[in-house]
Structures are given as C-alpha cells and as structure tokens.
Amino acid sequence: MKVLGIIVEYNPFHYGHQYHIQKAKEMIQCDYTIAIMSSSFVQRGEPAIIDKWNRSQLAIEFGVDLVIELPFVYSCQSADYFAMGAIDLLHAIGVTDICFGSEDGHIDTFIEIAHAIFKDQKEYDLVVQKAMKDGLRYPDACNQALKQIMGKEVRTPNDLLGLSYVKEIISHQYPITPHCFQRTNDYHDTQLKHIASATAIRQAIFQQIDYQHSLPHPELYDREVYSLDDFYPYLTYRLLTIDKHELHNIHLVDEGLENLLIQHIQKAHSMSEFINAVSSKRYTKPRIQRMLIHILMNNSKSSIQEAMHIDYLRILAMNESGREYLSHIKKQCPYTIVTNISRYQHPALDIEIKATKLLSLLSPQKEEFIKKEYSHIPYLK
C-alpha cells in the first residue's frame, strides 16, 4: 500500500496547490493522500489568511483524504523545526512517500546534499555557527556551509524547506521515499495570473485587487481574512508594558533583541515599519515575525521546548477514504489520534488554544471562533 504525504499551508489555497495534489498523486500512484497542514499561524510568522477549518476543507475537496494539524509549536518555527514536526507526524501516520514542489526539480540533488550534511554534520554545524557569528542570516550561513563542504547551493525558501524534509528522513532513517517536481511559478512573483504565487494573491486580497481568476473559491476571501498588521496595537501595548527580563525569556528573543524591540516600538507607526526597523542582515523578516507572534502569545523558551515533544495526531478533516485509512492504521500508530481536543491533554494543545484565542482577536465573532476549536467535526461527506 502506498500512502502519499504532502506538507502544506494553503495560505491561500490556489491553483498551484491543486496542481501539486494532482501531480503528486499521479507520480506516486498512491492509495491514500495525507496532508500535514499548518494551524492558525504559518511558517513565515503570520496568521493564516483564513481559518484552518476552511483550508482543511479545501484540501479534501481537491483530492486529499486526511488532513492532520501541524501544531503551532512547529508551524511557527524555522524551516528545520517546521520540517522536523511535519516529517515526524507523517512517519507516525504511516506515510510511505512524500512529494513537494521545488525550483530545482531534481530529488537526487536534495538527497545528495542531505547525505553530505549527515556525513559531515559537525563540520557543517561549525561553518553555519561561524557564518552566523559573522553576521550572516541562517539561510545564507547554510549556503556557505554547503559551498565549503560540497560546492553546492540551495537558495530559494521552497528548496531550503525541501532540503529540510529530506534531511529529516535521512537523519532518522524513516522508511519514507522523497519525491519532487518542478514548481509551476516563481515563489516571489507578484504578478496575478491563473497559477499565481501565494504572495501575489495575498497582496491582491489585502489591496482589494481582483483575484477571482487566481483562486478556486474566491468567495471565501470576501468575508473574514487575517493579517499580521492587525495585531500591531496589541503588540505595542505588550512591548510597552512587559518587563525586559520577561521579554528575554520569550521564545526566539535572543540576547540584546529585547532592547532593540523596546527602542523601536516607541517610534514605529505600523507593523511593517516596526519589522523593517528590527530586521537586519542576521535577523530576517520571517524570523522577526515568528518572534513577534511568540511575544503576543507570551510563549516562554521553556514552554515551547516542553510542548515540542508531540505524541498525538490531531485530525482537522477527512473524507470516507481518510476515515477508512485511520481505522486501518489506528492500532499500529504510535501516537494518539485526536479528533476532539477536549478529550486529550498536551502542552502543545494548550499552546494551540492560545494561538486560536490570539487569532480570535481579529474576528468579529470571537466566542464562536474559539468554540469551534473544541466543537469542530473533522469528517466531511
């Protein structure tokens, strides 16, 4: 039996994602398709543009059988941690193959680089650490290490993430076969077209430019959409009233950043202005944005570390085939399968509820928004 795993955010779900599902299923000739999907906040450190329930339903409508939540403690993290959580959960649910889109388009490239890193992990880590001390951003530091060790580079965010998936599979010797195919669009292309980048579509939605031809269900984005900018008043209050020692204990607030944050929050007039002021050669915008989300949620370094020991799989959506597969895998799955979070306790789920409560601040129906976290039924006919 072949079980395909895909790792997604659907922020928003567009025709490129539909192509990804179709292409991956065609390549693998799978019996079931399982998606691991970011929850309320995505890897770039932003709220997902619409809620996870609508995004998981879109996944089912366009060919996925089962959607599992990538917990906040992994979804709002750097590529390596994001991949660690996603691949671990896919392994636990019995996935045999994964497939991702890539600018490179050749899986052998990723496998060769991942094996080289695994073989010379100490040297690789030392070069990365030295490059970061010299002021390079983490992705650039990784590239410098790759060039030094094997004369290769991986530059685009999608390829870096794909490499992280393959590294996880190889380092843990998971019985999962990775595959990739050439992406249909440039990740930073801002031109709206039938298959447009998620960046271009988000810009169009927020700027109220016609995006109807770029989305399968454009009506979903005419209602309630969420933006990081909308959290700025809450962030301002938080940073103006928090103690420096408490701020330093927040996840991703490195030594000295607390002073920079307090200094610039008093001058900036918007979230984008503030992020630009704090970002640097060493700290990328996504890295800063992830940190700001953790500050808003008051996530300490220790609470995130504790919550990262995941032992459950939370089901967001499934069709009849997905339910059939769950019934088949349940006895051999090492993790608890959760369809109702009221019946299971875990530090990561406590943080998930905090994330939902934070996002509910942007909803005109806060009570209903939070209630859905507990009452959602994952089965879709």
331-350 pLDDT, tens digit per residue, is 999 999 999 999 999 999 99
Instruction: Point out the domain boundary residue: 261, 281, 304.
Output: 304
Distance CA(99)–CA(162), nearest Å, equals: 9
Provide the number of structural domains found in the chain.
2
**Mean of all residue pLDDT scores within the chain:** 92
Contact 151, 164 (CB under 8 A): no
Residue 23 in this model has a pLDDT that exceeds 90? yes
Instruction: Tell me: do 285 and 365 sit in the same domain.
Output: no
Instruction: Tell me: do 233 and 216 sit in the same domain.
Output: no
Residue 148 in any domain: the answer is no
Edge to edge, what strands does the sheet with 66-70 contain?
177-182, 97-102, 3-8, 32-38, 66-70, 312-318, 336-338
Residue 143 in this model has a pLDDT that exceeds 90? no
- What is the average per-residue pLDDT within 242-259? 92
Instruction: Point out the domain boundary residue: 277, 304, 331.
Output: 304
Residue 173 in this model has a pLDDT that exceeds 90? yes
Instruction: Tell me: do 32 and 177 sit in the same domain.
Output: yes
Instruction: Tell me: do 20 and 57 sit in the same domain.
Output: yes
The backbone torsions φ and ψ at residue 314, rounded to the nearest 5 degrees and listed phi first, read: -95, 125
Residue 115 in any domain: the answer is no
125 Cβ neighbours under 8 A, 6+ residues apart: none
Which of these ranges, 31-40, 60-69, 108-117, has the smallest mean pLDDT?
108-117
Instruction: Tell me: do 196 and 330 sit in the same domain.
Output: yes
Identify the CATH number of the domain in which residue 20 sits.
3.40.50.620
Q: Are strands 32-38 and 177-182 parallel, antiparallel or unpaired?
A: unpaired
Instruction: Tell me: do 371 and 260 sit in the same domain.
Output: no
Distance CA(98)–CA(308), nearest Å, equals: 22
Instruction: Tell me: do 294 and 364 sit in the same domain.
Output: no
Structure tokens at 147: 């060039």
pLDDT-based confidence at 183, cuts 50/70/90? Answer: confident
Distance CA(315)–CA(318), nearest Å, equals: 8
Residue 154 in any domain: the answer is no
Residue 381 in this model has a pLDDT that exceeds 70? no
Contact 16, 54 (CB under 8 A): no
Instruction: Tell me: do 168 and 293 sit in the same domain.
Output: no
Residue 13 in any domain: the answer is yes
Instruction: Tell me: do 74 and 179 sit in the same domain.
Output: yes
What pLDDT shows up at residue 25?
97
Which of these ranges, 186-190, 301-305, 328-332, has the smallest mean pLDDT?
186-190
Instruction: Tell me: do 50 and 74 sit in the same domain.
Output: yes
Instruction: Tell me: do 63 and 197 sit in the same domain.
Output: yes
Return the ∠ at Cα 66 (arms to 324 and 101), rounded to 5°: 135
pLDDT-based confidence at 130, cuts 50/70/90? Answer: confident
Residue 188 in any domain: the answer is yes
What pLDDT shows up at residue 187?
53
Structure tokens at 282: 């060493």
What pLDDT shows up at residue 184?
65
238 Cβ neighbours under 8 A, 6+ residues apart: 295, 296
Q: Tens of pLDDT along 294-315?
A: 999 999 999 999 999 999 999 9
> Could you list the residue range(s) of the whole structural domain that residue 347 is in?
3-103+159-210+212-221+308-375
Instruction: Tell me: do 94 and 49 sit in the same domain.
Output: yes
Q: Tens of pLDDT along 200-220?
A: 999 999 998 999 899 999 999
Residue 74 in any domain: the answer is yes
Distance CA(225)–CA(363), nearest Å, equals: 9
Residue 138 in any domain: the answer is no
What pLDDT shows up at residue 141?
83
183 Cβ neighbours under 8 A, 6+ residues apart: 16, 101, 102, 103, 105, 158
**Gyration radius from the chain CA atoms:** 20
pLDDT-based confidence at 273, cuts 50/70/90? Answer: very high
Residue 112 in any domain: the answer is no
- The top-scoring range by mean pLDDT among 127-131, 209-213, 231-235, 256-260 is 231-235
Instruction: Point out the domain boundary residue: 304, 330, 364.
Output: 304
- What is the average per-residue pLDDT within 71-97? 97
Beta pairing partners, 379: 318
